[in-house]
Chains A and B, each alone.
Chain A
Amino acid sequence: EVELVESGGGLVQPGGSLRLSCVSSGFTFDIYAMSWVRQAPGKGLEWVSSIFASGGNTYYADSAKGRFTVSRDNSKNTLYLEMKSLRAEDTALYYCAKGFLGHGTSTDVWGQGTTVTVSS
């Protein structure tokens, strides 16, 4: 069974940093693209970033460019999102999502999310 478990969220002051992690199991991690998608409280879904299998290709939403860095460690089946210069508008539940082979940035299985709160 595919399982994605996010961690690393928390309360951080504006301008601060956080590193999210997503440990994956139940599938061959190193052949799948992985993504981060967030959901602000009471709002809809917003794609944040994707990284393809080799880790060489990474993509970001405009809201994340220059501040967030996605990476992966295929030896640990783990996806990361390094977030810097955090703003109040980054407050959200951050989901890790498994890619869907042959479907670009599409995703099929999501973790339960980790909450990031940016507030002074």
Chain B
Amino acid sequence: DIQMTQSPSSLSASVGDRVTITCQASQGIGKNLNWYQQKPGKAPKLLIYDSTILETGVPSRFSGSGSGTDFAFTISSLQPEDFATYYCQQYRNLPPTFGGGTKVDIK
């Protein structure tokens, strides 16, 4: 199975901060990577697919980069509604696997 190592596991930030989360795959996955946002008590929401493509309706302050084994997810200016847990997921190979999550909370 492909292991997805996501870091940090948590971070504290202020509104307006730039936030970056990284995800490393244990083997190359091309650009077959999603980023999801999950708020407490809610289902995950797809934000970015194919490493860099913003899902329809997702604000442009979110972005993704990377290919192969190293990926990054960035929020350019953190907004109050962005406090949540974020997960990366590879779908290159079965089984699809998730990173451990990054909880973004208020400093």
Tell me if A107 and B32 are in contact (CB < 8 A).
Answer: no
Tell me if B94 and A59 are in contact (CB < 8 A).
Answer: yes
A110 to B46, CA, bound (A): 9
Number of B residues near A (Cβ < 8 Å) is 24
- The listed residue (A46, A50, A104, A113) touching B43 by CB distance below 8 A is A113
Interface residues of A (CB under 8 A from B): 44-47, 50, 59, 61-62, 95, 100, 103-113
User: Which residue of chain A has its CB nearest to the CB of B85?
Assistant: A44
Tell me if A110 and B101 are in contact (CB < 8 A).
Answer: no
Interface residues of B (CB under 8 A from A): 32, 34, 36, 38, 42-46, 49-50, 55, 87, 89, 91-92, 94-101
Tell me if B46 and A45 are in contact (CB < 8 A).
Answer: no
Tell me if B44 and A45 are in contact (CB < 8 A).
Answer: yes
User: Which residue of chain A has its CB nearest to the CB of B87?
Assistant: A45
Tell me if B44 and A106 are in contact (CB < 8 A).
Answer: no
User: Which residue of chain B has its CB nearest to the CB of A113?
Assistant: B43
Tell me if A61 and B34 are in contact (CB < 8 A).
Answer: no
Sorted nearest first, the 6 A-B pairs with minimum C-beta distance are A110-B43, A106-B91, A45-B98, A105-B96, A108-B46, A47-B96
